[in-house]
Structure 1
């Protein structure tokens, strides 16, 4: 008998695996609708949608294994990382979806959100002031005009599946939409910057490394408290806080 495996679970959503079927349960039906639409538009391999009902999406498992996970080593080859970079570039070059995404918040919105979150991190004693101040300075380089691209919005390496040196699929599209391509790249290499050259080999060289680093700092600053509230540990080795400390 197939077991029910909890892949991830928190107050907003949960993903379960039963055999070769993934069930995503989301309190926000709009995120499921976005996910299905984004997968239908994305020019890269995505899971097969088996069925969809209110608040639940069923998809087929992808062949292969994830490229890695945040906080853990990746055993994937340089060619696999380059293939992932090429797939990401193909997504970013695709026609825009007709809705804004997580990576598409306005500069004014991000600036206010960053300021508010940095204040909370310090006043609540979550992170030391010098660490927050330094990363806020780094993060400001991301707050500039950008050309909109088709972005995944939550492109963690655990969401990219490979078989050998081939990308077999990308999962979890609920945050997809119009946004800054470099946000996706920053999310993708978070905790694995040693593979950045391989990713660039597949993606192309016309990227600003300072902006990628800025997005890494900005994304991590905004994520720390939320991750703690959801039961995750951003202080674990290779995760968000370690990245923030590397900027000191």
Structure 2
């Protein structure tokens, strides 16, 4: 029997790999319910569900490798990034999932709370938080909801050569802003935005995507710190915020 690898682990969930099987253990089964239903609805490749015995969901490994990782240069080709953009467009053109996403007022309220926490606890300089809060304002506008993945980090997108072989981790899928998915996909990899937009195949508001970079980073830092991750690592969330100065 091969070794068991801890792929990711924190207080909310753990993902283990045993050979070609991934075992996801989640403390909140409503997230797993969303993940299973979203994978069934998505018109793009997703992992095969092998079995589910709460709190464990077993998934088959995807072929290929992740498009990249936050904080590291991506070795994937421009064509692979464009293919990721095309897959996102296919998802966004699909019928809406039956459950709603976060409301605009909820996002704005959480953003204000996180900014206050970052300053009050001297996590980030006030100027850095204030500047990015202003940039983030452009994302806080009405949008036409589409079927979004909701957590489209590049580590969740697998490619083999120039082809997307699958997308992982659908527990945040919902109705939402199309530009949010594009922003999370390119977070920390601004140089790849042109390739993604080319594959997406329609004109997008780049200022809103940049606003989502700031907003997502501001929202994520406290959670990352509290769960043992380092948003201050080179190329990660804090550097994304500094790039807006």
Instruction: Indicate the TM-score class for this superposition, using the shorter chain for normalisation.
Output: over 0.9
**2:152 aligned residue:** 155
Q: How much does 1:132 deviate? A: 0.2
Any idea what SS the aligned residue of 2:32 has?
A: helix
How far apart in 2 are the matches of 1:79 and 1:217?
26
Any idea what SS the aligned residue of 1:173 has?
A: coil
Any idea what SS the aligned residue of 1:161 has?
A: strand
1:65-76 alignment, distance < 5 Å: 65-76=65-76
**2:161 aligned residue:** 164
How far apart in 1 are the matches of 2:143 and 2:219?
20
TM-score, normalised to structure 1's length? 0.98
How far apart in 1 are the matches of 2:237 and 2:44?
28
Any idea what SS the aligned residue of 2:239 has?
A: helix
**1:14 aligned residue:** 14
How far apart in 2 are the matches of 1:141 and 1:9?
33
How far apart in 2 are the matches of 1:114 and 1:84?
28
How far apart in 1 are the matches of 2:197 and 2:115?
31
RMSD (Å), alpha carbons: 0.7
**2:111 aligned residue:** 114
Q: How much does 1:55 deviate? A: 1.1
**Unaligned segments of structure 2, at least 5 residues:** none
1:168-207 alignment, distance < 5 Å: 168-207=165-204
How far apart in 1 are the matches of 2:103 and 2:35?
22
TM-score, normalised to structure 2's length? 0.99
Aligned length: 245
How far apart in 1 are the matches of 2:47 and 2:110?
33
Q: How much does 1:96 deviate? A: 0.2
1:1-248 alignment, distance < 5 Å: 1-100=1-100, 104-248=101-245
